[in-house]
């Protein structure tokens, strides 16, 4: 299996491992949206051109979702604005979830949905 094919599952596993044990009112929706975002990044990775392996890939470190999305943005599949908008909206959703603000969480997730599309 190529490194490129391992990047998305590795990124998804990393995200799943960093989710806190606290389950707020919006946690299931956040998890579902994160899965959709991960699927969108993976689809872009499979459809787009590949880039040469850089020296960081040789250090046996797992890519983060942010680094995968940034690499895709550099290749033109995902715009940097889209990546930043999704990252910021997901952070707002998690923050709202932690304080129990369901309305604010749902608004942030709706923004993510509008940004990534159907």
- Top pLDDT among 39 and 61 is at 39
Alpha-helix residue ranges (DSSP H) falling in the chain: 3-18, 27-47, 65-75, 80-98, 102-116
The model carries a pTM of: 0.60
Mean pLDDT (whole number) for 78-88: 84
Mean pLDDT (whole number) for 84-101: 94
Tokens 């990393």 — which residue?
14
In a domain, 91, yes or no: yes
- Top pLDDT among 78 and 79 is at 79
The share of the chain scoring above pLDDT 90, in percent, equals 34
Report the C-alpha dihedral over residues 37, 41, 46, 47, rounded to 10 degrees: 100
Q: In this predicted structure, what is the pLDDT of residue 1?
A: 46
Per-residue tokens: 25: 């009112």
- Top pLDDT among 85 and 21 is at 85
Number of domains in the chain: 1
Per-residue tokens: 18: 């960093």
- Whether 89 shows a pLDDT value over 70: the answer reads yes
In a domain, 79, yes or no: yes
Residues 83/69, Cβ–Cβ less than 8 Å? yes
In a domain, 73, yes or no: yes
In a domain, 70, yes or no: yes
In a domain, 1, yes or no: no
- Whether 68 shows a pLDDT value over 60: the answer reads yes
Q: How many CA atoms, within 13 angstroms, populate the side-chain half-sphere of residue 15? A: 25
In a domain, 82, yes or no: yes
Instruction: For residue 88, give its domain range.
Output: 30-46+57-118
- Whether 23 shows a pLDDT value over 50: the answer reads yes
In a domain, 4, yes or no: no
| Rounded distance between C-alpha atoms, residue 100 and residue 69, angstroms | 28
């Amino acid at each position: 299996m190529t490194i490129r094919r391992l990047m998305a599952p590795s990124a998804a596993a990393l995200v799943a491992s960093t989710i806190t044990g606290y389950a707020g009112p919006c946690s299931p929706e956040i998890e579902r949206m994160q899965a959709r975002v991960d699927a969108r990044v993976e689809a872009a990775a499979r459809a787009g051109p590949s880039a040469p392996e850089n020296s960081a890939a040789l250090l046996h470190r797992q890519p983060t979702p942010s680094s995968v999305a940034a690499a895709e943005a550099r290749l033109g599949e995902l715009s940097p604005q889209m990546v930043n908008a999704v990252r910021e909206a997901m952070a707002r959703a998690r923050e709202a979830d932690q304080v129990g603000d369901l309305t604010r969480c749902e608004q942030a997730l709706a923004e993510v949905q509008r940004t990534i599309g159907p």
